[in-house]
Amino acid sequence: MHPFKSSGLTLSGFPPHTFRPFSRFISLLLLFVAFLFVGFSGQAAAAPFAYVTLGGSGKIVILDVATNTVVREITSNVASSSAVLSPSGRQLYLGSNAAHTVSVVDIASGTVTSTFRPMAADGFPVALAVHPNGSRLYVSNQNGELLSVIDLSSNLPIAQIPLIRPSGIAVSPTGNFAYVAQQRRDISPSTPRTVAVIDLQQNRMVSELIINASNTESILFSPNGSRAYFIEGTHVVVVDTANHSILARWQLGGAEFGFSTMTSMAVSADGLRLYVVADSSKRVHTVDTTTGNIVASFQYTNEPTSIVVDSAQQAAILLGNRTGLSTSVSLANGSVVKSFSIGEGPKASALTMASFVPAQQSIDNGGSSGGGGGCGYISGSGGPPDPMLPALAALALLTIALRRRARQR
């Protein structure tokens, strides 16, 4: 005799004929909730967001790129000089030159969960990059002339790679190597500025490219990782990543544009277009990556310094560090969609250290920035699906299975 049928009662304490409709109701309810969560999770993952760090203010502003509105502000109390988002989209890493530290911000709760020193006490974390699998953080320590490799499971350094005043860094989408700009002071024909090629399996420099990369936002990978782009003053340098050789130097800031220098880049999802900001001429150039020709150039009232492109490749947000105003523009015709302010107070210098960090959908989606190195393509936000979803679905299926087994008996 079944232990739960001896008195005509189930474990719930109700007669079987009342338990079955009740269990059917519970199982259907659980399935409905699971599908509801899936629906909302899918919507969240599709929404493009941009994360903007406001430097000295310690604030992180989250922008909804679709609506050009600020949807959230996080106060980290970290005077950040560099920032990068984890591949999962759940953590934001902030480097502070003032404190010589790196802080980890949990996006969901908006709190700083840990702070650590990636290098010696006098080190400046001027640039950050994360490995595509999320296991390592790379920190350019310009003052200490080291590239620090941090194990993110413990937040402890596992390697220190000697370099010459390292600054901008970008990790390849494959995670096999990284490019690091070296800002040596004693520039001469015999000692030019170079970009170091770092083998991330062995954690050592294997070669150098003679490129005077201009700033920490000056390195960008194509979506498939076959090319890398470097800002070199008025030029963009194109590198073949298969053999780390220079393919071309495109002059984009010629006489017709007042010899303006480039400051930031973003690439289209198909890799066919490169969007380059020339701040002093207040322009954004659209470059054909197959020819290196400028196919469109638009000038704006505000002086843009950074750019981020939405996942639909229809619009871009231009961050104006010096004016405190940001602008959403159409990539099709260059028209201004909306202008808005994300700074606070009368001082535009509050935005001096601002930087866009692309929100990424999952570990498998490395994004065009290769885990660091400035602005790039937004692939979506919201992180992985809610961990409760598998549990809800499993519980619903278990309830249905138990009900069917009870019916057979």
Neighbour count for residue 301 (Cβ, 10 Å): 12
CA atoms within 13 A on the CB side of 386: 18
Residue 8: per-residue pLDDT: 35
Shared-domain flag, residues 287 and 404: no
Domain of residue 142, CATH code: 2.130.10.10
Please indicate whether residue 89 or residue 362 has the higher confidence score (pLDDT). Answer: 89
Shared-domain flag, residues 253 and 402: no
Q: What is the mean pLDDT of the chain?
A: 74
Euclidean distance between CA atoms 220 and 232, whole angstroms: 12
Q: For residue 137, give the amino acid letter.
A: L
Could you tell me the CA-to-CA distances from 131 to 99, 115, 178 in Å, in that order? Answer: 24, 19, 9
Give domain status of residue 147, yes or no: yes
Give domain status of residue 195, yes or no: yes
Residue 385: per-residue pLDDT: 39
Please indicate whether residue 367 or residue 166 has the higher confidence score (pLDDT). Answer: 166
Residue 9 pLDDT more than 70? Answer: no
Sequence-separated (6 or more) residues with CB below 8 Å from residue 202: none
CA 225 to chain centre: 16
Shared-domain flag, residues 307 and 276: yes
Shared-domain flag, residues 22 and 121: no
Please indicate whether residue 295 or residue 216 has the higher confidence score (pLDDT). Answer: 295
Residue 177 pLDDT more than 90? Answer: yes
pLDDT tens string 336-378? 888 877 764 322 222 333 344 444 332 222 233 333 333 333 3
Shared-domain flag, residues 149 and 187: yes
Shared-domain flag, residues 401 and 373: no
As to burial, measured by CB atoms within 10 angstroms (0-12 exposed, 13-18 middle, 19+ buried), residue 354 is buried
Give domain status of residue 103, yes or no: yes
Shared-domain flag, residues 358 and 227: yes
Shared-domain flag, residues 377 and 393: no
Neighbour count for residue 71 (Cβ, 10 Å): 11
Shared-domain flag, residues 222 and 189: yes
Give domain status of residue 6, yes or no: no
**Strand pairing of 325-330 and 315-319?**
antiparallel
Give domain status of residue 357, yes or no: yes
Through-space distance between the first and last CA atoms of the chain, rounded to whole angstroms: 11
Residue 77: per-residue pLDDT: 83
Shared-domain flag, residues 281 and 216: yes
Residue 169: per-residue pLDDT: 93
pLDDT tens string 22-73? 555 555 555 554 444 444 343 333 456 777 777 667 888 887 777 777 888 8
Q: Which two tokens stand for residue 358?
A: 């692309």
Shared-domain flag, residues 403 and 311: no
Place 161 in a pLDDT band, splitting at 50, 70 and 90: very high
Q: Which two tokens stand for residue 263?
A: 């400051």
Count how many domains the chain has: 2
Domain region containing 351: 48-381
Q: Is the dihedral of CA 156, 162, 165, 166 positive or negative?
A: negative
Give domain status of residue 111, yes or no: yes
Neighbour count for residue 321 (Cβ, 10 Å): 24
Residue 189 pLDDT more than 80? Answer: no
Q: Which two tokens stand for residue 64?
A: 């909804």
Give domain status of residue 1, yes or no: no
Residue 330 pLDDT more than 50? Answer: yes
Euclidean distance between CA atoms 166 and 97, whole angstroms: 14
Give domain status of residue 13, yes or no: no
Indicate the pTM of the whole model.
0.75
Shared-domain flag, residues 267 and 162: yes
Of the candidates 310, 307, 306, the one whose C-alpha atom is nearest the C-alpha of residue 377 is: 310
Of the candidates 371, 348, 373, 374, the one whose C-alpha atom is nearest the C-alpha of residue 360 is: 371
Task: Give the mean model confidence (pLDDT) for residues 142-151.
Answer: 90
Of 25-34, 130-139, 287-296, 367-376, the one with minimum mean pLDDT is 367-376
Task: Give the mean model confidence (pLDDT) for residues 65-89.
Answer: 83
